[in-house]
Amino acid sequence: MSSTPSGPSTPHLVADGAAAAAAEEHAPEPRRPGRSRIGLVVPSSNTTMETELPELFRRQTEATGHSYTFHSARAALKNVTHEELLAMVDRAAECATAVSDADVDVIAYACLVAVMAQGPGAHTSSEEVMARAAAENGHPAAVVSSAGALTRVLREVGARRVALVTPYMRPLTDMVAAYVEGGGVEVLEAVSLEVSDNLAVGCLDAGQLPGIARGLDLSRADALVLSACVQMPSLDAVQVVEDELGLPVLTAATATAYEVLRALGHEPAVTGAGRLLAGGLVPAVS
């Protein structure tokens, strides 16, 4: 096509130019050095991941100077039941498409049990589906799921045997334990707090976790998963429990944050949230 419009094609080119101007006006802010965008896909009733992750990355920023912004999409979930979890999974690709409109660098699928409800290893396909949806929307991004992050990080730190704490009803806790064991890690003990309402899970007191941890038999454990749920608050307890027990303490949130940082090519330098995010458990990537 000639670069000089003429004749009947001119109106179409004018319209195209107006559309381009409108698209530019509403386009995501251009990326700048020293700043990364993180997309979150969370259950609609989640009140914790959008507080704990930004706090962790605020500490990362304090240590490194690199800044992070968060951009969320939500999928309906009120009660942590098998049926509602599977319905949320069906909306994962749609949410990935929506959050990718912000031209994010990485997407965190922050509902561990929704993925685990599909059976061991399901995080691989979930991450692939969401990555494909973002790419097809014209904004490719790495995808990290909380289920995949916890499974992979346990292996990466060399944990062969763990204990874990969940807020779920016992059947879902057993399912989470089976998922972790499907990834090659033995679950020695799994505490179930028996809370089904997801908003109520977000109101649990992290200050109770050190006492729960003290009641576990950790003599054979290589690590403790203090919160196998992104909605159960745990950040304030991680360092306390790790210092007291001397074992690596992980949570769904810290494992997710760790993998998001690695997906961005950043070394973790977060204080007060356990050795994993302080950079003391896994060798730096050269």
From the CB of residue 117, how many other CB atoms can be counted at a distance below 10 Å?
23
Dump strand ranges (E) for the chain: 35-43, 67-75, 106-109, 142-145, 161-166, 186-192, 223-227, 249-251
Pick the catalytic residue: 41, 130, 134, 229? 229
- 137 labeled binding residue: no
Q: 203 an active-site residue?
A: no
102 touches 68 (CB < 8 A): no
Please provide residue 235's backbone torsions phi and psi, each rounded to the nearest 5 degrees: -55, -40
- 260 labeled binding residue: no
- 113 labeled binding residue: yes
- 85 labeled binding residue: no
- 230 labeled binding residue: yes
CA–CA separation, 73 vs 50, rounded Å? Answer: 11
What amino acid is encoded at 251 in this protein? T
- 231 labeled binding residue: yes
- 46 labeled binding residue: yes
Contacts of 23 (CB under 8 A, 6+ apart): none
Pick the catalytic residue: 73, 98, 102, 111? 111
CA–CA separation, 211 vs 16, rounded Å? Answer: 64
- 168 labeled binding residue: yes
Question: Hey, which residues are catalytic here?
Answer: 111, 229
Binding-site residues for substrate sit at: 46, 111-113, 168, 198, 230-231
Binding-site residues sit at: 46, 111-113, 168, 198, 230-231
